[in-house]
Structure 1
């Protein structure tokens, strides 16, 4: 697959760098970092989702600076799978503990064009050292282009070009779903909605997310399901059908590669750069891979 640009982030805004530019390995290093103190603040500042998944390991990309100081310029987060069923479906493994998701990968816009692959290959090695029970990594590419309330594109959508360049196995799409979209264009996770609706542990944080985004706070004793229904009825939350993310698999061991024989191995999707499309997956390859 030919690539000409690399997608980067700074302050939650997508930026692009020439794919032909290259990272200087003498100036960079990759290491395990503290999830709470280092990874989470970086991700929340720069990644478009501004949130952290439930994390198993965080890895940082450091650039060497003057006076022996180093600067964190990228973060890779290995997360718990979105659900246990995704592991046998996408990795062919029976035990959900043996796989993880590539939950976040965010690099600043002033690193070299091949910095993602350079960092990720080293992050996989650290993952095997720190979490030897994990033998496969599942990664998702969201192909939906998202705009904010002013019509500015803050997430252009992607089809996983990086993952295909690195030789992963493309297994198809995740299940279609209905997203609830905030006024700023950000989707709120279905898990957060479920916590609110069912009054589960962690609902307070999920409610705070909506209130901070501009929703009215629920009244004392008000049923959370009724509160969510009102937010939809007033247009604060709007529904959007999502066709499913593209799913890629990185088997890290021989056993993982054998297990992966049971999952699909499909042609890589292609990117449609047309400004008129919502799903940036180019046809007809999408129809062939469905």
Structure 2
């Protein structure tokens, strides 16, 4: 049975090579803002950093990318924030109906720091990334915190889940949960999106990559006369794909810009109290074979 985790809000998640997570306590201190800088980042550098550290191993459709640099000696990249285009336009327009989606409003699709950044590094990084994004005309951001753990098929935890402590510390509006649904997990704990699966069944561009991915996890190659739908049913079983019943992610909303600019941003979703329950509680379902 998969249980939704609620790490105490004083703990902040960090990442190491190989997509291993760790935690930093906000009260441990040690963050020296004079040692760090934030700059726009090239696409290739951001993608390499995120896919190497983030538990999902994936990279979103980026619009703006920002790097956190440790400049104590020679500059070293220790964090990446990616503002991206979500799969569904309504993710943005439902929250910010008066902003131009994909330009004035975006999703904070990835926010990753290495495990050697001291506590409270997130607060500095978010503030600087938001300042730079506002200079590019961004006025609204949506970000999601995933509260459910991910494990490999043999039970090794690759992601513990979180409730968005850093977004609460940044005074984001909390707008409840995203829609509940299912997640498809590969044996290594990474997620295979429903959109990716649909590419196989419909024969759309990109289906070859999805097929190669499932084959790498044990599925037999697709036969020349085999339909995508038939092959996918067989491949899911052979690749030991699991289904995770998910109650929905926590949704946070940010207004960006000067005080006057932020006041002009309309949020259409009512603000709700931050999720603060520190106990584990059962999620909507369980991981099924």
Question: Is 1:174 equivalent to 2:182 in the alignment?
Answer: no
Residue pair 1:92, 1:263 contacting (<8 A) in 2 also: no
Matched, 1:141 2:141: no
Report the 3-state secondary structure (helix = DSSP H, G, I; strand = E; otherwise coil) of the residue aligned with 1:52.
Answer: coil
Number of the residue aligned with 1:58: 65
Residue 76 (structure 1) aligned to one of 75, 81, 86: 81
Residue of structure 2 aligned with 1:262, choices 260, 268, 274: 268
| Pair 1:26–1:13, CA change in 2 (3 A) | same
Q: Aligned partners of 1:229, 1:31: CA distance in 2, in Å?
A: 45
Q: What stretches of structure 2 of length at least 5 have no aligned partner?
A: 1-7, 285-289
Determine if the alignment matches structure 1 residue 31 to structure 2 residue 36.
Answer: no
Using the alignment, how far apart are the partners of 1:277 and 1:155 within structure 2? Answer: 17
Task: Return the TM-score normalized by structure 1.
Answer: 0.86
Q: Deviations over 1:118-168 (max 9, x none)?
A: 001100111122x31x21010000111111123121110011111011000
Quick one: higher RCO (CA 8 Å, sep 6+), 1 or 2? 2
Q: What pairs with 1:165-204 in structure 2 (closer than 5 Å)?
A: 165-204=169-208
Match of 2:249 in 1: 245
Runs (5+) with no aligned partner, structure 1: 280-290
Deviation, structure 1 residue 261: 4.0
Residue 284 of structure 1 corresponds to which residue in structure 2?
none
Helix, strand or coil: the match of 1:96? coil
Equivalent in the alignment of 2:222 = 218
Pairwise CA distance, 1:3: 3.6
**Count of aligned pairs between the two proteins:** 272
Distance 1:272 1:207 in 2: 40
Hey, what's the Cα distance between the residues in 2 that align with 1:124 and 1:27?
19
Aligned equivalents of 2:211, 2:247: Cα separation in 1: 26
| Partner Cα distance (1:233, 1:149) in 2 | 13
Q: CA deviation at 1:273?
A: 5.0
Q: CA deviation at 1:230?
A: 1.5
Distance 1:56 1:261, change over 3 A: closer
Give the number of the structure whose residues are more often helix, by fraction.
1
Q: 1:90·1:263 contact (CA, 8 Å) conserved in 2?
A: yes
**Judging changes above 3 Å, is the alpha-carbon distance between structure 1 residues 216 and 256 closer, same or farther for their aligned structure 2 residues?**
farther
In terms of mean alpha carbon deviation, does 54-63 or 187-196 score higher? 187-196
SS at match of 1:219: coil
